A and B are shown apart, each in its own frame.
Chain A
């Protein structure tokens, strides 16, 4: 789900979903419910119920003496603080890396979106395509390509060593820098497109008006453009941070055992150690933390803005 998905979603959201007025001719009552039923049923069965199943699993414990993977329901709420205590470093790391990646993506994505929206003229559409284009290749392939590019023999490390930003034996392979770099790269369009949509909607004459009222370029940006692009910034930040926090592919391919994020732990708890309750508890904690962030946003924007 790491490619075009949320990108288009956010563009659709931030891009201004305008509804035209005009009352509709009254419809038969049943129609909307029939239309909604299959889709919502699927989501209820395969999203809502699993989340509940996850919750239920998180309260289970190992059946003593049984084979691997057999658990029984004991309503052991202590699973949660236990999991949190043991894996708080990974949680912290996940949020730290995701936060850094989000900030970096904002730093790179905002000028990029600004350039396309306000300076590109008739090349706008082409440039937009070029922003999304790299993400037509497989996510995994891209990340592995970065691994090669950041390898010791590669050009990047060479340049950094020459500039003395990296020691003469310094390496980027399997480092946290590489992980953050990978996260930033992979989620860049999630940040750029909502920013673009927001900037594109802004009336450029507002900046001209600011200039007419004695604001120089920088002030005009700070007081007019920036505040007006805030919806895009918020959307982009959420759309970047949320998946980044749960990611484990970047950490697995570009990092080392010391850079594991919470996603890696959940994966390994499921498949390698077969410790379902802990994995489930961790998943729930991750989701809770992220949903807390999202609900803050919901209170500001309302649910219609989301979908």
Chain B
């Protein structure tokens, strides 16, 4: 908008507030949109957190008053803590196994030459591309055909199965970013293959392996569909929430959901802070 050369008496025209607002908006359109998108992302979170303080009994649908009782007594509702306990146990077992198996595969893919690379990549990729319904249903079919009753261990088996692929991808990405000349330098400096692995490769790959483990745990903990197909009568936390959705979800579930959110957020932020601190030395 060109400033008019003012004749001696008239003052320069000042754009109206609406005009300025419109211009500000068009320049910052993307930022405004992003802010709205973030608000949208957090709506259900805000709701979940808020209703964890709801003074309600079994049915946490209508706001009835603020209370800290739910937080002081998170296991108050029946079965909540049993479900949580199962989820954590399954998560830890599945994470340990999937991380171990997946890391080994990632090392093979990233650092070795072998035949059947295409087939391996395909076998790793397919579970990620298959809808959960199919994964869950097919595994259940197998168990039924073998006469195995679905229960705790079938869930663990299922979780390890779908977590391996994600661990492989994560660790492989980290390994690919590792300069192979570092390992060559180590061998040049008298480290045998095993010493090189232990003192150079593993420490440098560790952040990736850790990230993969966290990812596997998150996937396992929050899984519903595959778990639902293969758990029989064993309850996990997501299953508990789903089943109680009909009757009414107890506020304690919100408490646990909020707690997991805060915990996960804390871990991720701590990781970021640590990484920045380590870089600064």
Contacts and interface: CB of A to CB of B under 8 A. Distances in A.
Interface of A: 1-6, 8-9, 12-13, 15, 17-20, 22, 24-25, 27, 31-33, 35-36, 38-40, 42-44, 46-51, 53-54, 56-57, 108, 111-112, 114-116, 119, 125-127, 129-134, 136-146, 148-149, 185, 188, 238, 242-243, 245-249, 253, 262-263, 266-267, 270, 276, 279-280, 283-284, 286-287, 290-291, 294, 303-304, 306-307
Interface string B22-64: 0000000011011001101111110110010000000001000
Contact of A286 (B40, B133, B141, B264): B133
Interface centre among B122, B161, B218, B254, by most A CB within 10 Å? B218
Interface in B84-140: 100-102, 104-105, 107-109, 111-114, 118, 120-135, 137-140
A18 B177 CA distance: 6
Contact of B121 (A134, A253, A307): A307
Given A8-B170, A129-B272, A138-B260, 7 more contacts: A6-B128, A31-B108, A31-B112, A43-B124, A134-B44, A136-B218, A149-B43
B257 interface: yes
A33 B131 contact: no
B17 to A, nearest CB: 25
Contacts of A287: 130-131, 134
Given A145-B48, A276-B141, A36 B30 contact: no
Given A19-B176, A27-B112, A36 B131 contact: no
B131 A286 contact: yes
A238 B125 CA distance: 13
B16 interface: no
Interface stretch (B2-10, B73-81, B180-188): B180-188
A36 B258 CA distance: 39
B180 A50 contact: no
B44 A306 contact: no
B141 A139 contact: no
Nearest to A133: B265
B134 A20 contact: no
B233 interface: no
Contacts of A185: 40-41, 44
A39 B47 CA distance: 41
B170 A141 contact: no
B66 interface: no
B222 interface: yes
Nearest to B140: A270
A129 B133 contact: no
B215 A5 contact: yes
Contacts of A38: 100-101, 104
Contact of B184 (A25, A40, A137): A25
Nearest to A132: B268
Interface of B is mostly: helix
Contacts of A19: 176
A17 B170 CA distance: 10
A116 B134 CA distance: 35
A266 B132 CA distance: 11
A88 to B, nearest CB: 17
A307 B258 contact: no
Nearest to B272: A125
A288 B178 CA distance: 37
Contacts of B180: 20, 22, 24
16 contacts: A1-B162, A9-B166, A12-B170, A22-B184, A49-B142, A50-B142, A54-B134, A115-B34, A125-B272, A133-B264, A137-B48, A137-B258, A138-B237, A145-B48, A247-B133, A294-B129
A142 B132 contact: no
Interface string B166-208: 1011101100111111001001000001000000000000000
B33 A44 contact: no
A43 B127 CA distance: 9
Contacts of A127: 34, 38
A134 B158 contact: no
A306 B118 CA distance: 11
B262 to A, nearest CB: 8
B44 A44 contact: no
Contacts of A6: 128, 166
B268 to A, nearest CB: 5
Given A17-B173, A136-B261, A138-B238, A188 B41 contact: yes
Given A54-B134, A112-B37, A4 B218 contact: yes
A36 B104 contact: yes
Contacts of B218: 3-5, 136
A139 B137 contact: no
A49 B172 CA distance: 25
B45 A32 contact: no
Given A35-B107, A115-B30, A18 B176 contact: yes
A290 B108 contact: no
B70 to A, nearest CB: 14
B164 A39 contact: yes
B234 interface: no
A211 to B, nearest CB: 16
A262 B128 CA distance: 19
A67 to B, nearest CB: 14
